[in-house]
Amino acid sequence: MIRWDSSENHFLLNPRLPESERQRLMGLANQVSEEFKGHIFILSSGTTQTSQQNLKWVALSKDAFLCAAQAVNEHLSVTSQDHWLQLLPTFHVGGLAIWARSFLSGAKVSSLSSWNVDQVVRLIEESFITHVSLVPAQIFDLVQAQKPCPKSIRFVLVGAGAPSPDLYLQARKLGWPLLSTYGMTEMCSSIAITDPAGMTEDSFQKLRILPHVSVRQSIEGSLELKSAALFTGYVEKDIGAQAQIKASCGEGGWFTTSDRGVLEGSSLRLLGRSADFIKIGGESVELNRLNSHLERIRIELKLTADVALVPYPDDRLSHVIHLVSDDQLTVDEFERLKQIYNTCVLPFEKIRNWHILPQIPRTELKKFKLSECLQMLKSTH
């Protein structure tokens, strides 16, 4: 694993990447490795990428990682008596950050390489796990399986997007103490986390900005961040296929994100990414709100199929809403889902069409890859 107190560099790759892509990325890494000391290089998540060729290295110093880890430890009052369960891949910041927190706190870490609801709950009970990081898809699985939270769990950090209010309430009924988080690779994981002192449906959506982070809004409404935990820079390929280092911040050390939110003192309410707001017939539509309806219906109908909403390009209306699913969704299930969904949205937000794909494109953290999905749909029509 990572030697957090050393000056050596570490390059973390998804083992599922094609060999040609691994060689390309390591070629870039080798060109710049001597220019960095004590850094960890992680690939950008690729949720908006249409091709793996657009992946790039994010250079994160170990000092930045430990700065973010210390803030989370203090926010959750983590001590050497605690025990983390590490389920997220360590080539993503969400998984690696657990090891940084453990290095500083002395907390124990147990790992599982695959996700299985029964196995996870059993390990939590047998090992007296106190903390775990999960993504919304895993929360959904726990709710679907009606798994009560083991008594040893103190907090569950939820990353890679927030679950809908309905999913949150269902999980809370089962005893899971969910804390919503806002984070990104460029900030060594967490930026803001729900206040552990008051876990309610309202406070779940209201995140406390961690003390090492300053947040402001740009003129365009995007969130801008400043912190000792910010990344050092991107390693990208220039026109001549040579590696180049792109600085992380703009004027004054501020990093402009593609996220939108409302600042309320030391708290933050996220509104979503700029790409999550689309136009349908001139009307502004928030995709996160529509996805909340979809998730509630998935729970209500106990669907096992993977489904997602797509803002499909339309010449007349700019976009219309389509549903995509894997081949596990039956016609009857689709009709029932569509009927319920269409009754709780505005007329222009209704589902207009249904597409079946062999598999819905998602990242390792189960984030929906919209750009890749649109490319797949385009190639089949």
The model's pLDDT over 323-332, given as tens digits with 9 standing for 90+, comes to: 999 999 999 9
300 falls within a domain: yes
The C-alpha atoms of residue 86 and residue 122 are separated, in whole angstroms, by 14
Q: Yes or no: say if 63 and 38 are a contact pair by the CB < 8 Å rule.
A: yes
Residue 46 lies in a domain: yes
- Is residue 165 situated within a structural domain? yes
Amino acid at 174: L
Longest dimension (CA), the chain: 60
Q: Please indicate, yes or no, whether the overall pTM of this predicted structure exceeds 0.85.
A: no
Mean pLDDT, range 184-206, rounded to an integer = 80
pLDDT at 218: 84
Are both 302 and 219 inside the same structural domain? no
Q: Count of alpha carbons within 13 Å of 139, Cβ hemisphere only?
A: 32
Is there a single domain that holds both residue 260 and residue 340? no
Which position has the higher pLDDT, 167 or 73? 73
Same domain, 118 and 181: yes
The CATH number of residue 138's host domain is 3.40.50.12780
Domain count along the chain: 2
Averaged pLDDT for residues 61-86: 95
For residue 143, is it within any domain? Answer: yes
Same domain, 108 and 148: yes
Based on the fold, state whether residues 260 and 346 are members of the same structural domain: no
pLDDT at 50: 41
Structural domain of residue 327, as residue ranges?
281-379
Pick from 3-7, 129-133, 246-250: least confident: 246-250
Q: Are residues 233 and 323 in the same domain?
A: no
In a domain, 202, yes or no: yes
Question: Between 338 and 249, whose confidence is greater?
Answer: 338
- Residue 275 structure tokens: 């790409």
Last residue in a domain, options 274, 308, 325: 274
Indicate whether 203 and 343 sit together in one domain.
no
**Lookup: tokens for 293:** 């309806």
Amino acid 52: pLDDT: 47
Higher pLDDT, 180 or 277: 180
Structural domain includes residue 1:
no
Q: Note whether 96 and 188 are same-domain residues.
A: yes
Residue 101 has pLDDT above 90, yes or no: yes
CA nearest neighbour of 5 among 43, 36, 37: 37
**pLDDT higher than 50, residue 47:** no
> Is 185 within the bounds of a domain?
yes
